[in-house]
Structure 1
């Protein structure tokens, strides 16, 4: 099967940065939206998909007319959603970072649930150049699925607001990809 380009763009800076935003529908900054639009300017994507959360959706709408797909949402941080990390029990947070499947946030989502959602979103993509405006957790899940990175390796990746990760994807029963570029 023919490969295609998949560009994963993390939303721009939210008004309240540095929090465990998860499913909290935080507002993006105008600068964050502009930075995302600039990243996407010359990609030539045939399809534009986006998380339905405002911080991603606003950036996608500045780029074009996106198809909104909640499967591209960030990990649900449950009771921690919207909190700064220093407002969360440090031992519980450390347990989450060490093993997010065994130690999910209270009332939140396990890593494996995020991976399953993103897997379904990837499976729904047409094999054509695509831009997905999404979140750091969803990008990490996609890299896990497509490139084989282990979860603990993904925490080592700095994915700042507005980062663009470009992949060459080979679809199939078990799709694979190669990273073509990472553009902060």
Structure 2
């Protein structure tokens, strides 16, 4: 099996910083979009895929305008849905509930929100739909962590050890198959 390259780019800084933004659909700042364009410059890609949320979609479109392939939109690359907490600052959520969520987001999802396992299943389906050729996905921190869990086998708690600031780029060498696997070949923050 021939490996292929998958680049996962987190969207740029959002216009509403410091919030739990799963399904909240706000755009990125102009500086955030420019940071994504700069980060993607020079990548050898054949496909661009983006979450359908503005903060990812606008960055993908700007990358395409810089001479790339037009992005396909796939809502499976969205951030975890924070339910009733969506759009709130973390300190606006009861601290015990937030702590329980971070300790075990599958057993303690946000009220009306998504479980970690639901995000993982969604991202797994999105990965399976990708062409096995050099691809850039413009997405969100949670979706990147879910992809690392699926492709590299990192446990959910180990994933918080990765600092994924806005416009961070994780590059993977992916081996296709019934259960694809990957090796991290680059991390630029």
State the TM-score bracket (shorter-chain normalisation). Answer: over 0.9
The answer for the alignment partner of 1:74 in structure 2 is 79
Give the aligned length. Answer: 184
Structure 2: where are the runs of 5+ without partners?
65-69
The answer for the alignment partner of 1:51 in structure 2 is 51
In the alignment, does 2:130 pair up with 1:137?
Answer: no
TM-score (normalizing by structure 2)? 0.97
1:174, CA displacement in angstroms? Answer: 0.6
The answer for the alignment partner of 1:103 in structure 2 is 108
* Aligned with 1:183 (options 175, 178, 188): 188
The DSSP-based 3-state class of the residue aligned with 2:126 is: helix
1:84, CA displacement in angstroms? Answer: 0.3
The answer for the alignment partner of 2:13 in structure 1 is 13
1:140, CA displacement in angstroms? Answer: 0.1
1:183, CA displacement in angstroms? Answer: 0.3
Q: Deviations over 1:123-153 (max 9, x none)?
A: 0011100000000000000000000000000
The answer for the alignment partner of 1:31 in structure 2 is 31
Partners of 1:154 and 1:166 in 2: how far apart? 16
The answer for the alignment partner of 1:166 in structure 2 is 171
Partners of 2:176 and 2:101 in 1: how far apart? 31
Partners of 1:114 and 1:161 in 2: how far apart? 20
The answer for the alignment partner of 2:67 in structure 1 is none
1:18, CA displacement in angstroms? Answer: 1.4
Partners of 1:180 and 1:17 in 2: how far apart? 29
1:20, CA displacement in angstroms? Answer: 0.3
Partners of 1:98 and 1:135 in 2: how far apart? 20
Structure 1: where are the runs of 5+ without partners?
none
TM-score (normalizing by structure 1)? 0.99
